[in-house]
Structure 1
């Protein structure tokens, strides 16, 4: 009997050790991936974007020539220094877009969407580097959950930055200036889209009420970190969620003070009554297309949905730049004037 108890205890200890090691490996693989280094490489990011979107280089060159593409730094509530790029509209305007990048990307890798808003729609643009990305401090990806608080701080910063300028308004043959705060859209792709949806649940509730935010655009965001990691665990390793995902989520709570289940875009959009435009490629397997239907169904009106034919993950703008621009323009113009 004693031998049975002894070996049972040893087996339990070995099993717990294996699960803890597996949980730590998964957590590190997910939140400190090897390719996070690309998010820190500014020069390579510019090269990549200019190769993928040739129209960006002359636009960025012109902005840099006149000093219109600028760096901005703030300290968040956790004492971390965060970075963003910002671009003022060619003419003073209160229309502002805060654009949120995806997993292992950075502000530079969202300049295509910055081009859409600034060059084509004449908006002010602010492009934050999320925690651990680009030129922002942080050692581990936060998958949008803690990032939502940083983005809320960035939106307030953008309102202060761009809302202090008078806007030139033309009515008939008359032109005049008016002083006003911003009217703002938050637009995110992939993890940035999940972050955007997580932001949306805070804007009308609690201490983060920000009336200058008028609408949201989310492009291929996930329902929750739990759902996304569960899918990746099965796709990459053929493993079920239990018990490894539970252990990794618990370890995340101990180390970063959030867990995979609470980081839920789905629960956040349920609380959002502001307009939201959902975009998702029907060939997306990284963030499966089924997720957007759950998100869309959970979100109260007003809302719009565009399922992009043939588009893989985060490829909708690249595949259909003109239609993407037109659809975004038509959506935001309903709520930002």
Structure 2
């Protein structure tokens, strides 16, 4: 009788533990990928207040109808995706695809677009990633499946900018989750006209980033929640935390890449840039922005950021 009660108690405890972990896993996935506050409106006041140099550039574009947008249906998902773009009459094939971060949208990359368009006369293409901005989608993909959408935008670039694949020369530049997306793109087979990449404060893997966050925000260890949440994401969305690895992708990249990271970044900890840089074969370059927090390198060092980016990219475009 005592043994039976013991087994019942153990079974009930295990069932309760399983229920708690399952509920916590659903909560974590919803918290990180579904219910996160996403900036979907088109209010430009925040960007223009923080980056006043953007407004006169935008005004000049809008005066001639040069800032446009488009929607396409992504072949991988069947979902409608949105992008902004500017066609430069003096681009001579130079084109930048600029990828925004977690919970953000295409317009957040306009300060970086200004660098390419004003200083390099380049075309710029700014997609809203899946489930961001005006693009459809239910759950954030953390850059992993986003790489396939960005590859599709890259394939559309010659037609969008009225040129041929032979004359196009293209850079992909991303910040935060957009940097992770950029690195994931870099490990795939890209067209010959993709010449180089710039990643600004991207993470080594989704596992590493979420592990850092559940420790920082909730003081929880990886086991068991990271494992169960990853299994849940795999079942619901078709990808897992470990496979979403910019680190593995950059190791396959043979094209040039500039790495940027602030040395005061705690959201995507600065340490992550070093294994990423080491894994990437030459050619490559690294800039650590002194004192910069997450995604603040441009805001803190506008002239140096532009100089370093243009100096690197011009060698290949």
TM-score between both structures, scaled by the size of structure 1 = 0.91
1:269 and 2:250 aligned: yes
Tell me how far 1:163 sits from its aligned partner: 4.9
Alignment of 1:134-173 (within 5 A): 134-164=133-163
Say if 1:163 and 1:181, in contact at 8 Å, map to a contact too.
no
Q: Contact 1:103/1:190 (CA < 8 Å) preserved in 2?
A: yes
Alignment of 1:1-337 (within 5 A): 1-36=3-38, 39-43=39-43, 46-77=44-75, 78-164=77-163, 180-203=166-189, 209-336=190-317
Name the CA distance, whole Å, in 2 between partners of 1:128 and 1:157: 12
Partner SS for 1:35? coil
User: Runs of 4+ in structure 1 displaced over 4 angstroms?
Assistant: none
Given that 1:279 and 1:306 are in contact with CA atoms closer than 8 Å, whether structure 2 keeps it comes out as yes
Note if contact 1:162-1:182 (Cα within 8 Å) is conserved in structure 2: no
Q: How far is the alpha carbon of 1:164 from its aligned partner?
A: 2.1
Q: Which consecutive unaligned segments of at least 5 residues does structure 2 have?
A: none
Q: CA deviation at 1:262?
A: 0.4
| Counterpart-to-counterpart distance in 2, 1:295 and 1:33 | 29
**How far 1:252 sits from its partner (Å)?**
0.4
Alpha carbons 1:230, 1:245 under 8 Å: kept: yes
Deviation string, structure 1 residues 173-193 (Cα, Å, up to 9, x no partner): xxxxxx943100000000000
Task: Report the Cα distance in structure 1 between the residues aligned to 2:128 and 2:49, rounded to whole angstroms.
Answer: 21
CA distance in 2, matches of 1:83, 1:116: 22
Cα separation, 2, equivalents of 1:195 and 1:181: 25
1:175 maps to: none
Q: Distance in 2 between matches of 1:17 and 1:146?
A: 30
Distance, in Å, in 1 between the alignment partners of 2:107 and 2:220 is: 35
Confirm or deny: 8 A CA contact 1:100 1:189 kept in the other structure. Answer: yes
Deviation of the 1:107 alpha carbon: 0.4
Contact 2:92/2:167, CA 8 A, preserved across alignment? no
How far apart are residue 14 of structure 1 and its match?
A: 0.9
Secondary structure (helix, strand or coil) at the match of 1:148 reads helix
Match of 1:170 in 2: none
State the alpha-carbon separation in 2 of the partners of residues 66 and 52 from structure 1.
25
CA–CA distance in structure 1, aligned partners of residues 80 and 171 of structure 2: 24
Check the 8 A contact 2:102/2:178 in 1, yes or no.
Answer: yes
Please give the alpha-carbon distance, in whole angstroms, between the structure 2 residues aligned to 1:24 and 1:272.
35
- What root-mean-square deviation, in Å, do the aligned CA atoms of Structure 1 and Structure 2 show? 1.2
Deviation at 1:241, TM superposition (A): 0.6
Aligned length: 314
Tell me, yes or no, if the aligned pair for 2:166 and 2:193 is still in contact at 8 Å: no
- CA–CA distance in structure 2, aligned partners of residues 291 and 314 of structure 1: 14
For residues 318 and 112 of structure 1, the distance between their equivalents in structure 2, rounded to whole angstroms, comes to: 9
